[in-house]
Structure 1
Amino acid sequence: MEVSVLGIDLGKNICSVVGLDATGAVVLRRRAKRETLIALAARLRPCVVAMEACCGAHYLGRVFADHGHDVRLMSPEYVRPYIKAQKNDDRDAEGIAEAATRPTMRFVELKSQEQLDMQTLHRSRDRLVGERTALINQLRAILLERGIIAPQGKRKLEQFLVGLMDEQGGAGLSPRMIMLVADARAQWTELDRRIAAFDAEFIRWVKENEDARRLTTIPGVGPTIASALIAAIGKAETFEHGRDLAAWLGLVPRQRTTGGKPRLMGISKRGNKYLRKLLIHGARAALPHVAERDTSLGRWAKGLLARVHPNVAVVALADKLARICWAVLRSRQGFSAKGAPVTA
């Protein structure tokens, strides 16, 4: 039995495996536990091992690569058209194997353990930020139901609560509500501490990573964005051009032809939602300072602000920052506002 392509549909416990020969005919079809997949692949001659980029795929991919196999990970949305009717696990594995042989298929780069660890840190931090936001919204709603209008924004609300609870003694709130608000403020403080610990970890990691240090020379790109970007793409060679990275982040505007003329629409919002959010926040913070500088980027930003709404300019700058990040990683040199690269 000569297997050229091994398609694996990963499950939590049981995985479906389909092997294709050089002609594309099915020569192997079986179900196996995750623990036995490694032994199965070790018995085969080096071949193409195809999987969807899902939970556990990167670990198994690294193990299969150590056995000499050509590992190809694909986005599930690209595999779906190759799955036949009457969907089941076996046909999923068969569709994965067939999709891996397509010459125009886009594959996902294998991530190292360090990249996966950093991604996990970012997901944990994002969860804590979400919990803090939910807590802030609940606090404002509780106060609003009692006729107290609290300001928006973390810092403003924090200052408002200091005046309301510490200086005014609760301003007519019942003792139970005062205890509830005090408990929420204690949770808020603890969440701030835990988020700050993640931020300190990102700063430490960026100082030790040469590529990440170069990214922080770009306006609007700090340790959080630099570490998240390195963890997500690994290296610039993952994309052929900076616009491919921007498109992967969903920052490239969609186009529609009206009356024979191309018109730009909103961004696609496809790809990595978390990175896109970080880049837009970074661009929003950096835009006023960038527009004040007499550089090529500053003149571009100033002219853009004169033509479009500030929110549109922020997204456009985020798009440009993504392309600059790719260029910095590709050239292995820091960003220079004058256009001449400087060594990081």
Structure 2
Amino acid sequence: MSNFRVIGIDLGKSTFHLIAHDYAGREVLRKKLTRPRLIQFLSIQEPTIIAMEACGGCHWLARKCESYGHQVKLIPAQYVKPYVKTHKNDFIDADAIAEAAMRPSMRFTSPKSETAQVVTVIRRIRSGYIKERTASMNRIGSMLLEFGMSFPRGHAHMKKLFQWLADKGEPIPLTLMVEVQELHEYYKHLNELIKKQDKKLQLLLNENPLMQLLQSIPGVGPMTAACCLSNVGNASDFKNGRNFAAWIGLVPFQYSTGGKTRMLGISKRGNKELRELFVDAARVIVSRPETSERYFGHWLTELRMRKPFNVAVVALANKLARIAWSVMTSQKAFELRV
């Protein structure tokens, strides 16, 4: 078994397809295994390179492989596709993964820790509660609109819903009032669930020194810091801050040909949630010019004068992402400009 140079694994829910290449790049093994048999197979192999796509379930299996002494390479799915030959099936995918893993210019993703994955789960559940809360508010507004009452938007008004109805003095059917009351109780329940998720995140990340360092960046709060820590397995995977900003999708989309350079809007690739959080942080800073110069000097003020508001926001979001990468790699807090 020592002639295995790399084993490519096409991940599945209950079955896994393996292709092994030797040092000459030839296929020397082809197997289809269940999850227990896969773990047993990997545990008895001599240390080698295990290649997988960076998708659901890969981080758990990567940690298992590393515990057996293997070197794990996680490849983004879009970088594997060019190596798929002819038609697509699971063995062809596994062969493409094994071949892509040996390319000298290939980009890889570091496996996430258990804590990072748990933080991701908590944040996703929290996001689901927020969507449900927004839907509940919209339902209440649409129900009242059907009876001639335009309810104002916002949580401040939702908390005073029944006082607002009393002030309007419009006659409301009793059955409608029951429905509104039930929805409002559900809205308050979701608020409590969101607060519980926030407390869970704080308990998990309070002892992480990077959590505090990231929050030293202007506009970056606990949610943005938690999102960075849970989505970035290892900041050293990125060569520099620009690569990190490009991974988030905060750089111009380039479409150049024939020697003509054409730069379009931002690419919006990669992690959507992290990109939105950095843009929100930048929007807060740009909307407060009295404090923005304290952190970024005259650069941001002059940019705001020359460019539209949203362009300045995205430019600052790009800078914040680069600063976040620098903080994560250097393990040093952001320092104010004097």
With normalisation by structure 2, the TM-score equals 0.93
Q: Which residue of 1 aligns with 2:27?
A: 26
**Cα offset for 1:288?**
2.6
SS of the aligned residue for 2:171 comes to coil
One-letter amino acid of the counterpart of residue 31, structure 1? K
**Cα offset for 1:337?**
1.9
Write the deviation string for residues 10-32 of structure 1: whole angstroms up to 9, x where unpaired.
11111111111111111111100
SS of the aligned residue for 1:15 comes to strand
Once residues 40 and 232 of structure 1 are traced to their aligned partners in structure 2, the CA distance between those partners, rounded to angstroms, is: 30
Contact 1:219 1:290 in 2 (8 A): no
Contact 2:108 2:237 in 1 (8 A): no
Contact 1:61 1:110 in 2 (8 A): yes
One-letter amino acid of the counterpart of residue 143, structure 1? L
One-letter amino acid of the counterpart of residue 301, structure 2? K
Once residues 198 and 108 of structure 1 are traced to their aligned partners in structure 2, the CA distance between those partners, rounded to angstroms, is: 27
Ranges in structure 1 where 5+ consecutive residues have no aligned partner: 340-344
Q: Cα 1:151–1:262, aligned 2, differ >3 Å: closer, same or farther?
A: farther
Q: Cα 1:258–1:41, aligned 2, differ >3 Å: closer, same or farther?
A: closer
Residue 10 (str. 1) matches residue 11 (str. 2): yes
Q: Cα 1:152–1:258, aligned 2, differ >3 Å: closer, same or farther?
A: farther
Q: How does 1:255-266 map to 2 (within 5 A)?
A: 255=254, 262=261, 264-266=263-265
**Cα offset for 1:129?**
0.9
Q: Which residue of 1 aligns with 2:216?
A: 217
Q: Which residue of 1 aligns with 2:141?
A: 140
Contact 2:136 2:183 in 1 (8 A): yes
SS of the aligned residue for 1:295 comes to helix
Q: Which residue of 1 aligns with 2:164?
A: 164
Once residues 189 and 7 of structure 1 are traced to their aligned partners in structure 2, the CA distance between those partners, rounded to angstroms, is: 49
Residue 43 (str. 1) matches residue 44 (str. 2): yes
Write the deviation string for residues 102-129 of structure 1: whole angstroms up to 9, x where unpaired.
1111111111101111111111111111
Of all paired residues, the percent bearing the same amino acid is 39
Once residues 181 and 204 of structure 2 are traced to their aligned partners in structure 1, the CA distance between those partners, rounded to angstroms, is: 35
Once residues 211 and 242 of structure 1 are traced to their aligned partners in structure 2, the CA distance between those partners, rounded to angstroms, is: 17
Q: Cα 1:167–1:149, aligned 2, differ >3 Å: closer, same or farther?
A: closer
**Cα offset for 1:43?**
2.2
One-letter amino acid of the counterpart of residue 276, structure 2? K
Once residues 289 and 230 of structure 2 are traced to their aligned partners in structure 1, the CA distance between those partners, rounded to angstroms, is: 26
RMSD over aligned Cα, in angstroms? Answer: 2.1
SS of the aligned residue for 1:148 comes to coil
Write the deviation string for residues 170-212 of structure 1: whole angstroms up to 9, x where unpaired.
x222212111111111111111111112222333344311111
Write the deviation string for residues 223-243 of structure 1: whole angstroms up to 9, x where unpaired.
111111011114431211111
Q: How does 1:103-122 map to 2 (within 5 A)?
A: 103-122=104-123
- The number of equivalent residue pairs is 337
One-letter amino acid of the counterpart of residue 119, structure 2? M
Contact 1:125 1:195 in 2 (8 A): yes
With normalisation by structure 1, the TM-score equals 0.91
Q: How does 1:170-319 map to 2 (within 5 A)?
A: 171-255=170-254, 262=261, 264-289=263-288, 292-295=291-294, 297-319=296-318
